[in-house]
Amino acid sequence: MNTHLRLPVVAGIGLRAPHIAQVLAERPPVAWFEVHSENYYADGGPALAALDRIRADYPLSLHGVGMSLGSTDPLDATHLSKLERLVARVEPAAVSEHLCWSGIGGRHLNDLLPLPYTEEALDHVCSRVTQVQDALRRELLVENVSSYLAFADATIPEWEFVAAVATRTGCKLLCDVNNIYVNAVNHGFDADAYLAALPGAAIAEVHLAGFDASGPCLVDTHGAPVAPDVWALYARAIARFGPRPTLIEWDTDIPAFAVLEREAATAQSIMETRDAIAA
């Protein structure tokens, strides 16, 4: 196994099932891959075997969608132990989860729901991030989510809440620039002010994806190319924070792998342009 225990500061690609055989056969020159952790929680089988082979050649990020970090249900010990086991197996360069909740009272919802941005919720989710970091004995990357509603009782702007989670727990941030853009449009705030409020040193990864704009609000579908306005916001984020490991996510209407490679190349060129300007 290669020894990539940190993500390279270049663009990578979210690896989904339709492309795994192609990646195994062709070994494309992709800098790193990210997979959804829960897809590899089985005790064995072909998916895990394929992941072992991919990990032998590429740095890997494990991205969770099912921890329900913000829920008031107890953390799911079985879920956490499966993640611990997967982390021990593949030695990922990063482990991330969402700043959200997705279940209550033992019932699970197939969505990443926003938290009420209150001091009480902040205390609660920080204790949960700490529990997960203690169990994994490593830093967790926590990702800001897209949302279509806000809580009337919220007292803290989303960007201050996200920043406080990192500051209080020592976790890193997975800054999803598309999610910031989607929320800025849906809730009517300034995306650049959001970026300015984040602790840059904590941002260990960036996500980019496409949204759907056909309805009354933007919907974070991960089913389209990165939008021009999101590329522009990403360029301003990179100008502000410096290059960061950047991942192209595409989860519905998944295109040919070459399309993802082109999106990653665009992100890479934006980072290199920033480096050239800085030099």
Binding site for Fe ion (CB under 5 A): 176, 207
Of the candidates 159, 140, 46, which has an alpha carbon nearest to the alpha carbon of residue 92?
Answer: 140
HSE-CB at 163 with a 13 A cutoff on CA atoms is: 14
Nearer to Fe ion, 71 or 144 (CB): 144
In the complex, least distance from residue 35 CB atom to Fe ion, rounded to whole angstroms: 13
Nearer to Fe ion, 44 or 96 (CB): 96
Nearer to Fe ion, 96 or 169 (CB): 96
Pairing of strands 107-113, 101-104: antiparallel
Residues 231 and 247: their CA atoms lie apart, in Å, by 13
Give the length of the chain.
279
Residue 118 burial by CB count (10 A; 0-12/13-18/19+): exposed, middle or buried? middle
Nearer to Fe ion, 51 or 100 (CB): 100
Tokens of 83: 């993640």
Of all residues in the shown chain, the one whose CB is closest to Fe ion is 207
In the complex, least distance from residue 176 CB atom to Fe ion, rounded to whole angstroms: 4
In the complex, least distance from residue 226 CB atom to Fe ion, rounded to whole angstroms: 12
In the complex, least distance from residue 249 CB atom to Fe ion, rounded to whole angstroms: 5
Nearer to Fe ion, 19 or 207 (CB): 207
For residue 36, what are the β-bridge partners?
Answer: 63
Residues 150 and 266: their CA atoms lie apart, in Å, by 33
HSE-CB at 73 with a 13 A cutoff on CA atoms is: 17
In the complex, least distance from residue 17 CB atom to Fe ion, rounded to whole angstroms: 18
